[in-house]
Amino acid sequence: MNTKIAYLPVKGRGICDNSDPGFTEFSREAIDDGWTGDEPQVIKTQIFSDTSRSIISYNSSPDLPFDRSINPYRGCEHGCAYCFSRPTHASLDLSPGLDFETKIFTKPNAAELLREELARPLYKVAPIALGVNTDAYQPIERKLGLTRQILEVLLAHRHPVSLITKSSLIERDRELLVALAELDLVQVTISVTTLEHDLSRSLEPRASSPARRVQTIRNLSAAGIPVSVMFAPLIPALNEHELESVLSAAAEAGAQSADYDMLRLPYEVKELFEAWLRQHRPLKATYVMKLIREVCGGKASCATLGQRMTGLGTHAELIAQRYKLACKNEGLSCEPIGLNSSLFRLPSQVGEQLSLL
């Protein structure tokens, strides 16, 4: 008789489950047919083109520090087990599990689309958040360079931008970031989830190591680029004890400000993260999920505006107090760095004579 089996580990990937999206009419299930091996699978990344006709996404969320963002990629090779963006692959009829980190959709004409949108007569300048849903410096960026092309457009038109990444690849674009920083047009945020190498390797397998991320903070800060550290996600009973040590390491490396985000597990992410816990932290799994629900009002994900980033309840309040005290002790600002929106200049139109100045 065939029986349902757990998916085998996949080398270099964060999630081994590739179950169907939650809203499909049909579903598939892995079964043991007696031929299942014990060796970890190896799955290569597949690249597809995204046919989107726009590049800037707008939001009206009152608890977000930006109203527009750019994501040159859909899906993310970093493979973070907790990624809140995983369910977006369900809209493509793909799995939020392995498909999310192995089937990456790119926007090859991102720079051209950006120029067109900046040139629209009704466009009003405000800082663009680059790489919010999925990391703009994930491994495929090394080959495609879409994020670099976007930065070149933003610099040419003196447009403010904020970036957040887990990758040291951002140092490749140091000269662009320095030029933007000289005009108060950029803030870089390095996301540091943990300083423990083993935890990072299983939790976010293709992201830069914790030590390398701290070094990136140091290198960018030394170049005069304003850098913030994001302790995210804060996972109760798993990495929350590192809050103070992460902020201390970042401050010592030159970070100017700090922030944190509480873990949220929307839609399919809940099952995927629970499976990760059972595989990698089996003795803690039940307790971790209990605390996650405690800071999310009894659910696995808090959707309440103003509370979804920090959680609610006594445990969440204690974490908020620790964060503020740690920032004070380390000399870190709790506020984002202000950017200059007054230098923006419209892109040149086709056939328009270029200025001699």
The pLDDT score that the predictor gives to residue 355 is 46
Of 20 and 6, the structure prediction assigns the larger pLDDT to 20
Q: Write the DSSP symbol of residue 26.
A: S
The pLDDT score that the predictor gives to residue 29 is 56
Q: What is the helix (H) or strand (E) element at residue 68, kind and residue range?
A: strand 68-70
Kindly report which listed range (28-32, 86-90, 201-205, 352-356) carries the lowest average pLDDT score.
352-356
3-state secondary structure of 101: helix
Q: How far is CA 23 from CA 17, 74, 90, 180, 270, in A?
A: 17, 19, 8, 43, 15
**pTM reported for the whole predicted model:** 0.90
Q: What is the mean pLDDT of residues 182-209?
A: 97
Q: What is the mean pLDDT of residues 26-34?
A: 52
Residue 304: band (very low, low, confident or very high) from pLDDT cuts 50, 70, 90: confident
pLDDT in tens, 239-274: 999 999 999 999 999 999 999 999 999 999 999 999
Q: What is the helix (H) or strand (E) element at residue 177, kind and residue range?
A: helix 174-181
b/e 42-72 (16+ beta carbons within 10 angstroms → b)? ebebeeeebeeeebeeeeeeeeeebebbbbb
pLDDT in tens, 61-106: 998 999 999 999 999 999 999 999 999 999 899 999 999 999 999 9
Q: How far is CA 17 from CA 41, 82, 193, 279, in A?
A: 12, 13, 23, 12
**Burial class of residue 35 in the structure, from the number of CB atoms within 10 Å of its CB (0-12 exposed, 13-18 middle, 19+ buried):** exposed
- Domains of the chain are 3-330 (3.20.20.70)
Q: What is the DSSP string of 243-288?
A: HHHHHHHHHHHT--EEEEEE----TTHHHHHHHHHHHH-TTTHHHH
Residue 11: band (very low, low, confident or very high) from pLDDT cuts 50, 70, 90: confident
The pLDDT score that the predictor gives to residue 9 is 64
CA-closest candidate to residue 236, choices 191, 285, 278: 285
Residue 10 has pLDDT above 80, yes or no: no
189 in Cβ contact with 333 (< 8 Å)? no
Order of strands across the sheet that contains 227-234 = 56-58, 68-70, 128-130, 161-165, 186-191, 227-234, 257-262
Cross-strand bridge partners of residue 339: none
